[in-house]
C-alpha cells in the first residue's frame, strides 16, 4: 500500500504535472543501503557540472553502513550536500514551483520532506552600458534581465542596514519574481504600505515586463502622463532610494520602476548630477524652454497665421505669406499632415534595423520635406516649425513624458485652428488643472511648485551644489530628522580662523 511518503506516488504526481514536458529529467539513484532517491530537474535550466560534481557524486559516495534515518538527517536536517543554498519543502506544490524556477529537487523514499538545491543556471547577457541613458562622466553600468544581479548592482552602492528587499511573485502562469526595495526609515512607512496594498490587488496571468505592473498600480490610468519613473541605471535607482522613494525590479526585464515621481523629476537627467552645477542648471533651462516649444510651437503658428496675422512683424508676415501663397490647405490641416508624417518617420526608425534606421529617418525626412515644399503641398515655414518641434521633443529626458506632450500637441493644434490664441490659452489652463490634480502615490505631480515647498525648489529649475543640498526631500521619511551629512565644513573653519 502506498503512503504519503512513498516516492513512487510523488514521482507519478510530478510526471502527471509535467506530462507535456520532455525536458524534465528524473534521475534515479539507489544508496548502498537500498534507499531510493530521485533528483528532478529541467534540462537546460540547471548548472549541470555543479549537479554532477556536488550532488550526484556526493550521493554516490554515501557509506554502505549508513542507515536510512542517518541519511535523512544528513540530507534534510544537517544539509550536508556541498551546495551553498538548500531549502527543505514539504508539499509537492512547492517542489513543482522550485523545479519550474530551475532548481533541482531531491526526493527520498519514506521521507515527506524534499530538498531544493539552488543550482539554477539561465543564460544572461553581461553588464554593459545603458543604451538609452548614456552620460559623459557617470558610471557605465546598466541593469540586465536577472533579478539577483540587478539587486546586487543597487546594493553595492548602498552599503547600509536600511536596505530592505521584499520579494513577491505575480502571474498565474509566469510566477514572475518582483523585488520591492526601499530604505527603512528614509522611505515613509505609509508609502510602503500603500505600495504593498496596490501590489497585492494584482491578478494577471503573466507578467513579462515592468510596464505590466505599472499600469496596475498607477494613480490615474487614464492620464497620458507617466506617474512612475523607469530607469536602466543602478545609480539612478540608488539616488531615488536615498530620496525616500521605492523601486520595483521585475525579473526578466532591465527596466526598473521608481515611485513616487513628479513632473520635475522626469525632466531631470542622470547627467545633471555628474556635471558641475552651473552647466547642469544651464542645461535644465534649455530643457524647459524646449519643452514649451515642443508643446506649443505648431499651435502658435496655426493661431497667428489663421487668426492673428496683425501681431507678426510686417517683413516676416510678407515672407510667411509668400511661402504659403501656393499651399492649397489651411494651416491646421497642413500642420496635422506634417506632424503625423514626422511621427510616422519616428516610429519607422524604431522598428526597422538599427543599422539603417537612422539613415532612413534622416533621408526620409529630407526627401519628403523637400518634395512636399516643391510640390506646393506644404510651406517651407511649416517644415521649419515641425522640425524645430521634433528636435525639441527629443530633448525631454523621459521617453514616456515626451510621448505625453507629443499627444497633447494635437488637441492644442485643433484648439488653435478653431479659436486662435484663446483656444491655446484654454488648452493650457486645462492642462495645468489636470497636472495639479494628478498624483503619484499621493505625491502631487507638480510638487514642489504646487503646492509650493521652498526647501525642495533647490533641485527643480536649478541644480544646487551638492554642499548646499543639506536636507532630504519633504516627501522623505527622514525629512523631519534634520539635515543630511555633508557641506563645505572646511570653508567654515577657515572663515572662523580669519
Q: What value does the mean pLDDT take over residues 409-415?
A: 94
Q: For 308-342, write each residue's pLDDT tens digit.
A: 888 888 888 787 777 777 778 888 888 898 888 88
The pLDDT of residue 330 is: 86
The pLDDT of residue 498 is: 44
DSSP E strand stretches across 143-223: 163-170, 176-183
CA 36 from centroid of its chain's CA atoms: 48
The pLDDT of residue 475 is: 81
Q: For 204-215, write each residue's pLDDT tens digit.
A: 999 999 999 999
pLDDT band at 343; cut points 50, 70, 90: confident
Q: What is the C-alpha separation between 467 and 464, in angstroms, rounded?
A: 8
Enter the C-alpha cell of residue 198. Answer: 496596490
Evaluated on CA atoms 55, 60, 65, 68, the torsion sign reads positive
Q: Is 136 exposed, middle or buried (0-12, 13-18, 19+ CB in 10 A)?
A: exposed
The pLDDT of residue 2 is: 44
Q: What value does the mean pLDDT take over residues 122-135?
A: 84
pLDDT at 491 over 70: no
Q: What value does the mean pLDDT take over residues 216-234?
A: 94
Inter-residue contact 305 to 420 (CB < 8 Å): no
Cell 526597422, residue located: 352
pLDDT band at 155; cut points 50, 70, 90: very high
Q: What is the C-alpha separation between 428 and 418, in angstroms, rounded?
A: 15
Q: How many CB atoms lie within 10 A of CB 207?
A: 25
Q: What value does the mean pLDDT take over residues 63-77?
A: 84
- The model carries a pTM of 0.84
The percent of residues above 70 in pLDDT, for the chain, comes to: 92
Q: How many CB atoms lie within 10 A of CB 258?
A: 20
The pLDDT of residue 359 is: 60
pLDDT at 481 over 60: no
Q: What is the C-alpha separation between 415 and 411, in angstroms, rounded?
A: 6
Going from N- to C-terminal start, the domains of the chain cover 7-117, 147-261, 276-444
pLDDT at 362 over 70: no
pLDDT at 466 over 90: no
Q: For 15-44, write each residue's pLDDT tens digit.
A: 999 988 888 999 998 888 788 899 999 988
Amino acid at each position: 500500500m502506498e503512503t504519503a511518503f512513498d516516492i513512487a506516488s510523488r514521482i507519478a504526481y510530478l510526471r502527471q504535472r509535467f506530462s507535456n514536458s520532455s525536458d524534465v529529467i528524473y534521475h534515479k539513484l539507489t544508496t548502498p543501503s537500498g534507499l531510493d532517491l530521485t533528483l528532478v530537474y529541467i534540462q537546460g535550466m540547471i548548472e549541470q557540472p555543479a549537479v554532477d560534481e556536488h550532488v550526484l557524486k556526493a550521493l554516490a559516495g554515501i557509506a554502505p553502513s549508513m542507515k536510512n534515518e542517518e541519511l535523512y538527517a544528513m540530507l534534510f536536517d544537517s544539509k550536508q550536500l556541498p551546495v551553498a543554498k538548500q531549502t527543505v519543502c514539504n508539499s509537492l506544490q512547492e517542489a513543482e514551483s522550485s523545479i519550474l524556477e530551475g532548481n533541482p529537487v531531491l526526493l527520498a523514499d519514506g521521507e515527506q520532506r524534499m530538498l531544493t538545491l539552488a543550482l539554477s543556471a539561465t543564460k544572461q547577457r553581461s553588464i554593459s552600458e545603458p543604451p538609452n541613458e548614456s552620460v559623459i562622466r557617470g558610471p557605465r553600468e546598466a541593469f540586465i534581465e536577472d533579478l539577483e544581479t540587478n539587486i546586487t548592482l543597487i546594493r553595492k552602492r548602498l552599503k547600509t542596514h536600511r536596505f530592505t528587499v521584499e520579494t513577491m511573485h505575480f502571474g498565474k502562469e509566469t510566477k514572475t519574481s518582483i523585488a520591492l526595495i526601499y530604505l527603512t526609515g528614509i522611505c515613509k512607512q505609509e508609502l510602503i504600505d500603500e505600495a504593498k496594498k496596490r501590489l497585492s490587488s494584482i491578478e494577471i496571468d503573466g507578467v513579462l515586463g515592468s510596464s505590466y505592473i505599472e499600469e496596475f498600480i498607477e494613480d490615474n490610468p487614464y492620464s497620458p502622463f507617466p506617474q512612475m519613473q523607469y530607469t536602466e541605471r543602478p545609480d539612478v535607482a540608488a539616488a531615488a532610494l536615498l530620496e525616500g522613494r521605492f523601486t520595483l525590479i521585475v525579473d526578466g526585464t532591465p527596466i526598473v520602476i521608481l515611485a513616487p515621481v513628479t513632473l520635475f523629476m522626469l525632466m531631470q537627467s542622470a547627467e545633471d548630477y555628474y556635471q558641475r552645477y552651473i552647466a547642469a542648471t544651464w542645461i535644465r533651462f534649455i530643457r524647459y524652454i524646449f519643452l514649451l516649444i515642443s508643446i506649443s510651437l505648431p499651435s502658435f503658428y496655426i493661431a497667428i497665421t489663421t487668426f492673428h496675422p496683425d501681431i507678426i512683424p510686417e517683413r516676416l508676415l510678407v515672407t510667411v505669406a509668400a511661402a504659403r501663397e501656393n499651399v492649397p490647405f489651411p494651416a491646421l490641416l497642413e500642420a496635422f499632415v506634417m506632424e503625423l508624417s514626422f511621427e510616422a518617420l519616428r516610429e519607422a526608425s524604431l522598428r526597422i534595423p538599427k543599422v539603417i534606421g537612422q539613415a532612413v529617418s534622416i533621408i526620409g525626412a529630407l526627401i519628403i520635406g523637400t518634395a512636399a515644399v516643391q510640390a506646393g503641398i506644404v510651406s517651407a515655414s511649416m517644415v521649419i516649425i515641425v522640425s524645430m518641434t521634433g528636435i525639441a521633443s527629443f530633448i525631454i529626458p523621459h521617453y514616456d513624458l515626451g510621448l505625453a506632450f507629443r499627444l497633447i500637441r494635437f488637441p492644442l493644434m485643433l484648439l488653435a485652428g478653431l479659436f486662435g490664441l484663446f483656444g491655446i490659452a484654454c488648452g493650457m489652463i486645462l492642462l495645468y488643472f489636470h497636472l495639479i490634480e494628478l498624483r503619484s502615490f499621493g505625491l502631487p505631480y507638480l510638487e514642489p511648485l504646487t503646492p509650493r515647498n521652498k526647501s525642495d525648489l533647490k533641485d527643480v529649475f536649478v541644480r544646487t551644489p551638492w554642499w548646499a543640498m543639506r536636507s532630504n526631500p519633504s516627501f522623505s521619511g527622514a525629512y523631519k530628522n534634520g539635515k543630511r551629512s555633508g557641506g563645505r565644513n572646511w570653508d567654515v573653519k577657515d572663515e572662523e580662523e580669519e
